[in-house]
Amino acid sequence: MGILNIIFGKIMVTMGCYYRADNHEEVFSEITHPIVTRALDIVLVIGSFVMGFVMIAGAGANLYQQFSFVPWLGSLICSVLIVLVAFLNFDKITGVLGVFTPVMIVMILLITAYTFIGKSYNFNELNTVAKTITPAMNNVWLSAIPRLLWKNMSEER
C-alpha cells in the first residue's frame, strides 16, 4: 500500500502541476466523470479518517508500551497535536515536517545501526525457536495477520 501511495501520489502531484490545480478535486474533475470525481473524493476522505484513527490509536499504544502511560493519554496528546497542526498554514506545516523528517531519518539510521552492530544473534537458536512456532496459516505472509490480530485481542482481555 505504501508503494501504491507513493506512485499515485506522484501521479497526482504531476497532474496537479500540469493543470495548475489548487486541490485534488480540480485534478479529478479534469480527468474523470463527475460521479467518479465525487467517489474518489469520498474514498480519500474515508482513507484519511482511517489513517488518522490508526495513527491516534498507535500513539496511545506506543506511549503505553514505552512509558506505561494509560493508552488514552497518548491518543489525546496525538489528537491535540493534530488539531494544532491543522490550524497552521501550509508553509508552517511544511516547516514542521522539515524539522521532524531529518530527525526521524537520523533516529531510524541510528536504531538500525545499533540493531546490526550492537547486538549479536545466535541464528541457530533463533532457527530452533522459530521451528517450534506453529503458523496460523500455511502462507508465511498471511499467517502474520491473524497472529497479530489474535495477539492484540488477547492483550485487551
In tens, the pLDDT along 49-98 reads 888 888 899 999 988 888 888 989 989 998 998 888 888 777 777 787 78
pTM: 0.53
Q: Are residues 94 and 138 in the same domain?
A: no
CB contact at 8 A, 59 and 74: yes
**Nearby residues of 26 by Cβ (< 8 Å), 6 or more positions away:** 16, 19
C-alpha cell at 7: 506512485
Q: Are residues 7 and 50 in the same domain?
A: no
Which is nearest to 63 in space by CA: 51, 52, 75? Answer: 75
User: The domain containing residue 141 runs over which residues?
Assistant: 123-157
18-51 tens-digit pLDDT: 988 888 888 888 888 999 989 988 988 898 888 8
Phi, psi of 69 (to 5 degrees): -75, 155
Q: Are residues 37 and 52 in the same domain?
A: yes
Cα 2 to chain centroid distance, Å, stands at 8
Q: Is 10 left (phi over 0), alpha (psi -120 to 50) or beta?
A: alpha
Q: Are residues 37 and 83 in the same domain?
A: yes
Q: Give the pLDDT score at 147.
A: 54
How many domains does the chain contain in total? 4
Q: Are residues 46 and 61 in the same domain?
A: yes
**Alpha-carbon span 40 to 47, nearest angstrom:** 10
97-138 tens-digit pLDDT: 788 889 989 999 998 888 888 777 788 888 888 888 776 667
